[in-house]
Structure 1
Amino acid sequence: MSASPILITGGAQRLGRHCAERLVDDGHQVIISYRHEREALDDMRKRGIVTLQADFSSEAGILDFIARLKAQTSSLRAIVHNASDWAPDSRGEDAGATFERLFRVHMQAPYLINLHARELLDACAEPQRDIIHMTDYVVQKGSRKHAAYAATKAGLDNLTLSFAALYAPAIQVNAIAPALIMLNPGDDEEYAAKARSKSAMQMVPGPGVIYQSLRYLLDNRYVTGTTLAVDGGRHLQ
């Protein structure tokens, strides 16, 4: 395995945590960013995962994270942009602030990290270096209640194309666009049944399918500028 670590932003819970821990199981070094301290981080640290606190809601916070990342490691094998904020739209005075926060988390943070951390990817001795953006199924259809979320995730999807062209052939840049992958602890069976009915595959698959998709991109030397849909065939419904 590569001596250079893989960075996963927003890696302290759900899909990010699952992928971080699976990568460690496969022998990779992993660095994650997290916004809030939580109990799960202690277990991750015991497994050797490096944890860096980050606040991507401001440009200053993003640049501070990049500086501390460079102090932590001299190279990276890959960057996985998983940090996300599933905030609903607001019709009040804070609507603009909500949109700005989502823009910074979903677009500005990946944009600046991709630019400023390229030197870390270039320093990796491996023949393959990757940037992977976690977007969303809603990019293709929009959202009545999460328009700002959908729009900023669509912006991240477009950044995939731009950085793929800019960084080829040295660095591959791709995206993964999941639909509903896992339930929350409080979701009841009625909600679960409704969620399953939305996809042609009639299932809530769990985070393993995202790790399989991540490994496909990390292991394939001939894919760039691609968005990998992991949505159970929702477009067929």
Structure 2
Amino acid sequence: MTSPIIITGVGKRIGYALAKHLLAQGHSVIGTYRSHYPSIDKLRVLGATIIQCDFYDNVQVQGLIDQLSQYPKIRAIIHNASDWLADSSQTYTASEVIQRMMQVHVSVPYQLNLALASQLQAGAEEEIGASDIIHITDYVAEKGSAKHIAYAGSKAALHNLTLSFAAKFAPEVKVNSIAPAMILFNQGDDEAYQQKTLAKALLPKEAGNEEIIDLVEYLLNSRYVTGRSHHVDGGRHLR
């Protein structure tokens, strides 16, 4: 069996699309999810190993680490799991908002990367740059966001992890981040909202999951690209 690719947050959107694509390419896929969606059952049918884990629960996170540590070799980890809380949340205090954003976007990727370092290095089969860590960040990681400070700050920290782990895990493991903007609208987003959002980019179109999938494929196949943030935002970071 090929060394697995781990993808966090496979329940919907890009995580689900990535998992489905990589399975179709013949990869062994391990996916994590927090909330159940019909897509989870579909991935199981396609052959994915699926693990439920609430990243806000440290006991569950440690359980996930223990399970993944049983694999002798890992081809890649794609940190896709994400959450969003407004700074003005009516449910959480400001302290809780920043703690939760840092937990899911920084603490869990940090723990997984460190815990699975030897498996990633083994997965490279002694070839330079043959294993991967990919962090899905956001274009606001470098641009900042006055409206969503906790979210943007946590994604910026994840971007910094990209730089640090790239230096730490070389030469066997490449570490990159992908920084998308709005690539896929939600059901219910009205036409006015969509047009307003598209106008914020230099390339005003809905990119779709394929742009991310193609970039992931490129990074997995590359042997000489590491420590970089790859914007998939239609030039929105330049506005």
TM score, norm. by length of structure 1: 0.94
Distance of 2:24 and 2:204 partners within structure 1:
30
* Structure 2 residues without counterparts, runs of 5 or longer: none
5 Å-filtered alignment, 1:75-114, equals 75-90=73-88, 94-114=93-113
Q: Is the 8 A contact 1:139 1:151 kept in 2?
A: yes
Change in Cα spacing, 1:125 to 1:213, as seen in structure 2 (3 Å) is: closer
Q: Is the 8 A contact 2:143 2:237 kept in 1?
A: no
What is the percentage of aligned positions where both structures have the same residue? 46
Q: Is the 8 A contact 1:164 1:173 kept in 2?
A: yes
Q: Is the 8 A contact 1:137 1:179 kept in 2?
A: yes
Q: How well do the aligned residues superpose, as a CA RMSD in angstroms?
A: 1.5
Q: Match of 1:186?
A: 188
Q: Is the 8 A contact 2:31 2:50 kept in 1?
A: yes
Offset of residue 133 of structure 1: 0.6
Q: Classify the secondary structure of the residue corresponding to 1:123.
A: helix
Is structure 2 residue 210 aligned with structure 1 residue 211? no
Q: Match of 1:15?
A: 14
Q: Match of 1:201?
A: 203
Q: Match of 1:35?
A: 34
Q: Is the 8 A contact 2:140 2:237 kept in 1?
A: no
5 Å-filtered alignment, 1:1-237, equals 3-71=2-70, 73-90=71-88, 94-124=93-123, 126=125, 127=127, 128-237=130-239
Distance of 1:75 and 1:86 partners within structure 2:
32
Change in Cα spacing, 1:235 to 1:153, as seen in structure 2 (3 Å) is: closer
Q: Is the 8 A contact 1:58 1:101 kept in 2?
A: no
Q: Is the 8 A contact 2:10 2:40 kept in 1?
A: no
The number of equivalent residue pairs is: 235
Distance of 1:116 and 1:187 partners within structure 2:
40
Letter matched to residue 190 of structure 1: A
* Structure 1 residues without counterparts, runs of 5 or longer: none
Which runs of structure 1 show a deviation greater than 6 angstroms over 4 or more consecutive aligned residues?
none
Q: Classify the secondary structure of the residue corresponding to 1:215.
A: helix
Offset of residue 64 of structure 1: 1.7
